[in-house]
Amino acid sequence: MSQINWDQSIRHFIQQSASASPTPGGGSTAALAAALGSAMTSMVCNLTQGEKYAEAQPHMIETAKQMELTIRKCEELLAADIASFDTYMSVLKMPSLTEEGKLLRKQAIQLAAIRAIDVPLELMEVCKSGIEHASGIAESSNKNVISDLGIGAILFHSAAESALLTIRINLGSLKDAELKQQYADKAELLMKQITAIKTKTMAAVNDRLVN
């Protein structure tokens, strides 16, 4: 299992991601991107304070709190992504010399596959919530950092799209056709919703950049 945690340097994470080790991989990188989207959104909130923004300040304070919670959740999901991959690789090594062994291995693989889908799906839900919060302050935030808010929205969208790719590849290991379709439908709907929010947010951001 990769020894990756939130307290290590950016350099270490990038080096580990670039190495031959399969983790941290795309799922972990997506969680980090979502955390950075949260950080950008929080920064905008923290720079929209004081008398000039008195009317918007309560909303900014609450949004910043939500972004702090989102960052913590992304940390958990980064670790969960690595753990789910390691679990999946472990069950592939289970003995299958007997019929009972084959059955147990098959069941374990399906459970591990489900977990490997649940984690990025949860990240997509986190991204949807995060980009909704970013969108909610697009009109009232400090104009001097509106580009940073746009970057936050882009990061949330990119993280969600990355998580969707992880889901799609892991769906290939799921044998239950009905469950596979349910997961696929849910993920595609989330992506559609997130994309719509991003489009709305970026329209507001770009309008404020030129006006």
pTM of the model: 0.94
Give the number of other CB atoms < 10 A from CB of residue 197.
Answer: 21
Question: Quick one: pLDDT band at residue 2, thresholds 50, 70, 90?
Answer: low
45-77 exposure pattern, b = at least 16 Cβ within 10 A, e = fewer: beebeeeebeebbebbeebbebbeebbebbbeb
* Residue 126 counted as domain residue: yes
Q: Specify the pLDDT at position 168.
A: 98
Cα–Cα distance list, 72 to 10, 38, 67, 78 (Å): 17, 10, 9, 10
* Residue 8 counted as domain residue: no
Task: Say whether pLDDT at 1 is over 70.
Answer: no
Residues 6 or more apart whose Cβ sits within 8 Å of residue 108? 91, 94
* Residue 63 counted as domain residue: yes
Domain of 91?
Answer: 24-210
| pLDDT tens-digit series, residues 95-106 | 887 888 888 888
* Residue 6 counted as domain residue: no
* Residue 5 counted as domain residue: no
Domain total of the chain: 1
* Residue 3 counted as domain residue: no
- The token duo for 158 is 């990119």
78: left (phi over 0), alpha (psi -120 to 50) or beta: alpha
| pLDDT tens-digit series, residues 31-58 | 999 999 999 999 999 999 999 999 999 9
- Return the percentage of the chain with pLDDT > 90, whole number: 82
CATH code for the domain of 149: 1.20.120.680
* Residue 9 counted as domain residue: no
What mean pLDDT, rounded, does the chain reach? 95
* Residue 146 counted as domain residue: yes
